[in-house]
Amino acid sequence: MNIDEIVKGYHPNEKLIDLIGQIDVVLLCGITGAGKDTILKRILAKDANITRIVTSTTRPPRDNDGVMERDGVDYYFFSKQQAAEKIAKGEYFEVANVHNNINGVTADEIRRIHNANKIALADIDYQGVEYFYSYHPGVKAIFVVPPSYEVWRERMERRHDDKKTSLSELPVRKASALRELEWALGADFCHFVVNDDLDTAIERVYRIINNQSGHEEAARQIVKQLLEKMR
């Protein structure tokens, strides 16, 4: 099965585009080590009116520290054949080839969130943000960063027990972070949150979700400083 051919040039239908436009969508993005996943989990626990966008994948469920991923909770798990059939029927909002697997957001998931009348929240990369924004200019994109280059580097080194492995990954992570920071500063629809203190960062994200943003310019300056240090 040629996955590139299957997903190439896919576009959602007009009915689905109209439906996503009726949903309040909040997209958390940011460089690796910013703490997006933790913030997302805490926001979901804080407000029952916010629901996570559950994406689909054709890879098998993984064991995360002794806990198996659950279908319909962590991901929707499909076979490649099932996913290909859904693509042919226009049953995806967004779809991509990720390491030779078909990942995406299904039309059923968009309908679930719309019918529940909840705010949709996702942890997503900047390319995913651009895709959502191209169909729904009303999305809120929140770019999360650590407070400094030094803190970011410490977090990168703590990601593995083996320090050599951490250091060997650093150039790749740094190159990705550079692209992401440059993109965020050029995207005029991005909000910025500095994760220097987790509780404060969560509160700032929550305020942005509820249209009560603040501290934007100070956060933007820190993003600029991070970019300069990364170069």
Where in the sequence is the domain holding 32, given as residue range(s)? 3-230
State the CATH number of the domain containing residue 65: 3.40.50.300
Closest CA to 35 of 172, 161, 180, 197: 197
Q: Per residue in 81-115, pLDDT tens?
A: 999 999 999 999 999 998 899 999 999 999 999 99
Dist. CA 79–CA 106, nearest whole Å: 14
Q: 215 Cβ partners below 8 Å, 6+ apart?
A: 204
Each residue's pLDDT tens digit, 174-202: 899 999 999 999 999 999 999 999 999 99
Q: Which residues contact 167 (CB under 8 A, 6 or more apart)?
A: 157
Query: What band does 1 get if pLDDT is binned at 50, 70 and 90?
Result: confident
- Cβ–Cβ < 8 Å for 213, 53: no
Rounded CA gap, 182 and 198, in Å? 24
pTM of the complete model:
0.89
Is 65's pLDDT higher than 70? Answer: yes
The pLDDT value recorded for residue 99 is 85
What pLDDT, on a 0 to 100 scale, did the predictor assign at position 163? Answer: 59
Domain count, the chain: 1
Q: What is the pLDDT of residues 140-187, one digit of tens each?
A: 999 999 999 999 988 888 776 555 556 677 888 889 999 999 999 999
